[in-house]
Structure 1
Amino acid sequence: MCAVVTKFFEYGPKEIEALSAADPVLGDFMSRRGQVERVIIPELFPALVHAIVGQLISVKAVQTIWSRMQAAFGDIRPERLAAASADEIQRCGITMKKALCIHRIATQVASGEFDLEGLRSLPDAEVAAKMTVLPGIGVWTAEMLLMNCLERPDIVSWGDIAIRRGIMNLYGLPALTKEQFEQYRRRYSPYGSVASIYLWEISFPQNG
């Protein structure tokens, strides 16, 4: 069985320097931490399945389930998962609700009912709008696909608890309102995705 292809999110001195100028506190952390390698999945369908698996569970649990799925289904193609049953998908360790969502989406993509590859040419907001009509897909999952597959440069997800925790830890905040979050998101723009990579690192330093 072939494994799912991965790569690192591409960024460099341009993004680091711009973020450091816009936010010296974040810049100081980035300088001390150095380059953080964020693994992404450049193929849309396996990246989407990975994002669904990752909804509301820990990073460690995602890794375990993802390994089982690759062992069971290979390189995670829509045709393969459409041909499988929801029970087979669920046996990899996810909820039946997620298994049904993955199976339905695989069926729509395999049949051509949903043009997943067509998302590549659309702006961020349109990608999110099209994705959230799919079963089990909300804004967070769409944002994870935008960043962790399409490498869109300016994604900072309010729906990601680790991102919010990273902001609170970085700036010593006891709580974070949506208004405060939006102020930081605008400050990080247009390189919010790189800021997110470091905010995740602040939340999960043991993964660095």
Structure 2
Amino acid sequence: MATLLETDAVLKRGLKALAKADPVMARLITEGAVPPLRKRPPGFEGLAWIIVGQQVSTASAAAIWGRLRTILDPPGPERFLSLSDAELRGAGLSAMKVRTIRATATEIVEGRLPLDRLHDLPADEAHDCLTRVKGIGPWTADIYLLFCLGHPDAFPGGDLAVQEAARIAYGLDGRPDAKTLTALAESWRPWRGVAAKVLWAYYRVAKAREGSPVT
């Protein structure tokens, strides 16, 4: 596995490798789609934060997380399991997110989800470990691997912004689905995570050119 995305130097290595392997990636980077490093703490807190942020705006996720964090002290799986559904719903979590984070906390406490060892696994194996937990889907798994562990080859092919950026960048007739985009991403291994970051950055560049807001 390539070195984890923990420094700007590693990110630059990934960008250089992508530019060499794919002329479209080279063009995007030259046009300004240079992503920031962006990394969140790994472990239960980071994974819970990602689950909280699913399908809500950044502002809403921050507000919910702020309320949850006040009762989640210390922010570990054991503490989460000690809270009632009513307390968690009072912080703003939906019933589905309560179930997902509770299932995640249970898997960690009972030793079936080794969050502390996922960084040693290839991206696909680490992804499978996460998606075995009821409620954790492919997008959540890949976002955790990429932004919390800094896994350079994690690839969220189901992310709509990544799909739309790929459509524009590669001149596709329609927005590619997760399967199509994941197949396209094979040529970016072992830096698919860096490629996703480039596509996110390009999405912002493209939307800025259109004058469209980026949510």
Q: What interval of TM-score do these two structures reach, taking the shorter chain for normalisation? A: 0.7 to 0.9
Q: How well do the aligned residues superpose, as a CA RMSD in angstroms? A: 2.7
Higher relative contact order (CA 8 A, sep 6+): 2
Q: How far apart, CA to CA, are the structure 2 residues paired with 1:90 and 1:170?
A: 41
Does the alignment pair 1:191 with 2:203?
no
Instruction: After the TM superposition, list the runs of 4 or more consecutive aligned residues in structure 1 that deviate by more than 6 angstroms.
Output: none
Q: Deviations over 1:111-139 (max 9, x none)?
A: 44543323333322222222222121122
Quickly say closer, same or farther: Cα 1:174–1:8, change in 2 above 3 A: farther
Does the CA contact (< 8 Å) of 2:35 and 2:197 recur in 1? yes
> Offset at 1:103?
2.1
- Greater CA deviation, 95-104 or 112-121? 112-121
Does the alignment pair 1:14 with 2:13?
yes
| 2:185 aligned partner, one-letter code | R
- Greater CA deviation, 40-49 or 59-68? 59-68
What percentage of aligned pairs have identical amino acids?
A: 28
| 1:131 aligned partner, one-letter code | L
Q: How far apart, CA to CA, are the structure 2 residues paired with 1:156 and 1:47?
A: 18
Q: How far apart, CA to CA, are the structure 1 residues paired with 2:35 and 2:100?
A: 32
> Offset at 1:189?
1.9
SS in 2 for 1:15: helix
Q: Deviations over 1:150-204 (max 9, x none)?
A: 2111122222112101111223434134565245302322211111112112334
Q: How far apart, CA to CA, are the structure 1 residues paired with 2:11 and 2:114?
A: 32
Quickly say closer, same or farther: Cα 1:22–1:108, change in 2 above 3 A: closer
Quickly say closer, same or farther: Cα 1:96–1:35, change in 2 above 3 A: same
Q: How far apart, CA to CA, are the structure 1 residues paired with 2:199 and 2:43?
A: 24
Match of 1:61 in 2: 60
Match of 1:150 in 2: 149
SS in 2 for 1:89: helix
Match of 1:132 in 2: 131
Q: How far apart, CA to CA, are the structure 2 residues paired with 1:182 and 1:101?
A: 25
| Structure 1 unaligned regions, length at least 5 | 1-6
SS in 1 for 2:31: helix
Question: Where in structure 2 are the equivalents of 1:160-171 lying within 5 Å?
Answer: 160-171=159-170
Q: How far apart, CA to CA, are the structure 2 residues paired with 1:74 and 1:30?
A: 41
| Structure 2 unaligned regions, length at least 5 | 206-212
Q: Please give the TM-score of this superposition, normalised by the length of structure 1.
A: 0.80
Q: Please give the TM-score of this superposition, normalised by the length of structure 2.
A: 0.78
Does the CA contact (< 8 Å) of 1:53 and 1:94 recur in 2? yes
Match of 2:174 in 1: 175
| 1:203 aligned partner, one-letter code | Y
Match of 1:72 in 2: 71
Quickly say closer, same or farther: Cα 1:60–1:169, change in 2 above 3 A: farther
